[in-house]
Amino acid sequence: MQQNTPIKKGTVLLPKISKNSANVMNFSIKEIFSAAMVLFAVIDIIGSIPIIISLRQTAGKIQSGSATLVAGGIMIAFLFVGDTLLQYLGVDVNSFAVAGSFVLLILALEMILGVNLFKDEEPKAASIVPIAFPLIAGAGTLTTIISIRAEYAAENIVVAILLNCGLVYVVLKSAPLIERKIGKAGIGVLRKVFGIICLAIAVKLFSENVQQLFD
C-alpha cells in the first residue's frame, strides 16, 4: 500500500523528464567540424580577398556586418526551406546531392586551374548584393548546403554556417591586412589547396548519394 503524501498548498508538480527527451538536439563536434570545413572550402572567403579588396577600393567601404548577416540568413533559410522546395519540385535530396557534386566539381576546377566559369566579370559596386550574394551565399554554397543536409544533422550545419559567418566577418574587416601578410602568391596557394579539398568532397558526395538512387 502506498501512502498518500499530503501536497502543500502552492506546490507545483513538474512532470518527470526522461533521459531520451533531453537529447532532442544531436550536436556532434565531428559533424560541425566536417560541415564547417566543407562550407569554408566552398565559400572560399580567403580566395575572395582580391575581389573584396577591389570592391573596397572602388566603393570606399564595405558594410561587413550587414553583408555577413544577410549571407548567413540566406544560408540558414535555404537549409530549412530548400528541402521543402525540392519536395514541391519532386526532387529527392540524394538526386540534388549528386547534382551538387557536379557544381562542386566545377568550383574545384575553378580554384585549381585558376579559370572563371561562373562569372564573366567582377562585381562593380560594393554592396550587400555582390558581397552577401553571390560572393558568399552563391549558387555553389547553397547547393552544397542542401547537399550536405543528406549527410549531417541540421543543427550541426547551422553551427557550421555561424562559424563560417564569423570568419567571413573577420576577413571582410581585415582583408587589406590579410593581403599584406599572406601576399598574392599565398592566396593563390590557398585557393589551389581548398580546390583540391572541394574536389575530394565532390567525389565523396557523388559516390555516397548515387548508390542511394539505385537501391
Which residues are CB-neighbours of 188 under 8 A, at least 6 positions away? 114
Domain assignments of the chain as residue spans, ordered by start: 28-214
**Confidence band of 12 (pLDDT split at 50, 70, 90):** very low
Residue pLDDT, tens place only, 67-91: 999 999 999 999 999 878 878 888 7
Number of alpha carbons in the 13 Å side-chain half-sphere of residue 166: 7
Best CA proximity match to 36, nearest among 144, 150, 171: 144
Q: Residue 124 has what DSSP assignment? A: S
Residue pLDDT, tens place only, 186-215: 877 877 887 888 788 788 878 877 877 776
**Pairwise CA distance, residues 129 & 137, whole Å:** 10
Judge contact between 65 and 167, C-beta under 8 A: no
Judge contact between 125 and 60, C-beta under 8 A: no
| pTM for this entry | 0.67
Span 158-166, average pLDDT? 97
**Pairwise CA distance, residues 126 & 129, whole Å:** 8
- Single-letter amino acid, residue 171: V
pLDDT reported for residue 69: 94
Residue pLDDT, tens place only, 31-79: 999 999 999 988 988 877 877 776 676 666 788 899 999 999 999 999 9
pLDDT reported for residue 214: 76
**Pairwise CA distance, residues 32 & 42, whole Å:** 15
Instruction: Please provide the average confidence, as pLDDT, over all residues in the chain.
Output: 77
